[in-house]
Amino acid sequence: MNWQAVAGRFTPPARLAVIGDPIGHSRSPQMHNPALQACGIDAQYIRVQVPVGRVAEAFRQFAQCGFLGVNITIPHKFEALDAVDVLDPLARQLGAVNTLAIRDGKLHGYNTDGPGFLRSVKEAFGADVQDLRVLILGAGGGAGRAVAVQSALSGCQKLMLVNRSQAKAEAVADEIRTLRCCPDVTVVAWDDAALREALADTDLIVNATSLGMKAGDA
């Protein structure tokens, strides 16, 4: 990667970015740059494609180039977990990092997926997750796992995990059961009949799959 070219796309003082692989689909710059401008914050936010296996290198380069922070999306949230110097307790518990803050030369990893999910449900539906039966599609990925763990920690009534790789969903379910926060944690097979049966017992469906990232997804 040409990090000088990345750094050269900015005018100091503040530099921010989102990374992923792919990353062209991300609308984060269109959202964050107007928000920064509206708040009077002198900063710029761009997309940077980082290949799998090079997240730790990217984080070091971001720090050297004077970046303040980075958002992390598919498929780097698990890899980022091991690439930070200081890991927030909630990020450790959720098992993924989606936010990097660079302070005093140290890489600080956080996860906002879980708290953001709770806030979104409250704002959109006026509901608390603790009152709901939750079904998560794509429960084996970074965001899906975080939402699943956060739902359990919030004491949801029932948690149903669906993933194309059932083994990954089972692994997440086993971890959540050890928390003893949710009375009913089950894995639902990725097929029409099983999903129809589960949906009849569901209050909230969460799509944490990658569907929609590619042109032609429907």
Catalytic residues: 77
Residues whose CB is less than 8 angstroms from the CB of residue 47 and which lie 6 or more positions away in sequence, other chains included: 17, 18, 19, 20, 23, 24, 26, 28, 29
Count Cα neighbours of 50 within 13 Å in the Cβ-side half-sphere: 29
Q: Is 19 helix (H, G, I), strand (E, B) or coil?
A: strand
- Using CA atoms, how far residue 193 sits from 197, 199, 209, in Å, is 6, 10, 19
Placement of tokens 């450790």 in the chain: 92
End-to-end CA distance of the chain, in Å? 33
Q: Which amino acid is at 49?
A: Q
